[in-house]
Structures are given as structure tokens and as C-alpha cells.
Amino acid sequence: MTAILYPVATSADQALSQPKAQATREREAVRAAGEPVVFTTELAGPAFATREAALDAYQGRLEDDRSGFTPAIEDRWCKLVEQAVTEAGRPASLGPVQPTCQDGHRWPAPPAVPPRTAWRLAVSYWRIASAERPLDAPQARKARRSKQDVDTATLRAIARQPLRPVEPQQPLDIGLFETRLPENPSIVVPDE
């Protein structure tokens, strides 16, 4: 089985130019880096007005439907993303939209002029821990169980980060409202 070999680097730009190593799994990345790593996806390089201009700039790194080029499976750690930008070219914050619930419609009509967008390269890689950019704060569950004093800055960082599972969710072998018969576990029946 072939897997993507993600670069091990301190930044997205270094991952593009001079990665320290390449690794599929976290333990391989830790071994190559010699210190903790975290998997991340960051934007790198300049913004391009059109998708075609971005594909031309990163020729040989991305799948190009115009020429039919497809990178090897191991090298598919880059992709193009479209991002809303302001007139100055900075990322735009579109903000939440309040539902209207009028005339049988839940959401308001979209704006007449869509927001201006730009194309950027998104690089997925194993980011090495460093003094300039520390790794993410620990999960609240782990911090609580460690019974160590947590400073205010770490507590705020824990509160701001999204919830993450302790371990990957395993696929269900039976449905949510199904159960196995106690006398014959190979038979699955609906649960009432």
C-alpha cells in the first residue's frame, strides 16, 4: 500500500524547499526530527488571481487537469485552495450570516457581487516544535488528569482550540439501532 510521505519541517516554506525528512506516520516524523511534531496544513507562497496562474507557478507539484499531470501518490501533500480576500489582497473575514426565516426561506439572498477570491497553495506537513511556534495546548482532558497547575495562558489556549478525539473513531460494524443476538452473535437484529 502506498501512502503520502509528508515533509518534516519547521514551516510550510521549508517543507516546500528543504524538508528535513519525509514521513507517513507521527512516530516516523518524531524519529526523523528528534523532537515532538504536530500535523498541520498551512498556506504558503503568494496569492494568485486565477487557478490557472497558480497551477502554472506550481507546475509539477499539483494535479493539473489541463495537461493531465498527476503527481506520484507519495507527493500529494499540496493542494490549491480558494480564499476570499479584501481589495488590499489580505484574507477577508466574511463573518456569520443571520438566518432570516421569511417567505419560506431560511437564509438571505446571496450578495449580488461575490467576494473577491485568490488561489493559495495549502501545504500539509509535520511541523517541528520550536521556541518560536510551540505545539498546540494539551487537550483539556489530559490537562485535567495530569493534576498539574495550569497557568492562565495555557487555560485560554485550551479553551480556544477545537475539540479533538482521544483516538480515531472506529468504523461501526453494525447500525446504530441494531444489536447482536446473545445466543448467536453472528446474527444482527433491529433494536426496538
Residue 22 in this model has a pLDDT that exceeds 70: yes
For residue 188, what are the β-bridge partners? Answer: 180
For the record, the C-alpha cell of 180 comes out as: 447482536
For the record, the C-alpha cell of 159 comes out as: 479553551
CB 15 within 8 A of CB 90: no
CA count, 13 A, side-chain hemisphere, 38: 12
- Name residue, grid cell 487537550: 139
- Name residue, grid cell 433491529: 190
Which residues have C-beta within 8 Å of that of residue 42, sequence separation ≥ 6?
11, 12, 122, 123, 125, 127
Q: Alpha carbon of 156 to those of 38, 50, 129, 136, 153: distances in Å? A: 20, 39, 20, 12, 5
Q: What is the pLDDT of residue 28?
A: 93
CB 154 within 8 A of CB 144: no
pTM over 0.75: no
Q: What is the pLDDT of residue 99?
A: 79
User: For 65-116, what is each residue's pLDDT tens digit?
Assistant: 888 898 888 899 999 999 888 777 677 766 777 777 877 778 777 777 888 8
Residue 131 in this model has a pLDDT that exceeds 60: no
Residue 178 in this model has a pLDDT that exceeds 50: yes
- Name residue, grid cell 485568490: 118
CB 155 within 8 A of CB 37: no
CA count, 13 A, side-chain hemisphere, 192: 0
Distance CA 152, CA 159 (A): 11
Query: How far is residue 61 CA from its own chain's centroid?
Result: 19
Q: If we measure between CA atoms, which residue out of 95, 91, 9, 92 comes closest to residue 47?
A: 91
Strands 117-128 and 6-9: parallel
Q: What is the pLDDT of residue 89?
A: 67
Mark out the alpha helices in the chain (DSSP H runs): 12-17, 26-33, 51-57, 140-146, 152-160
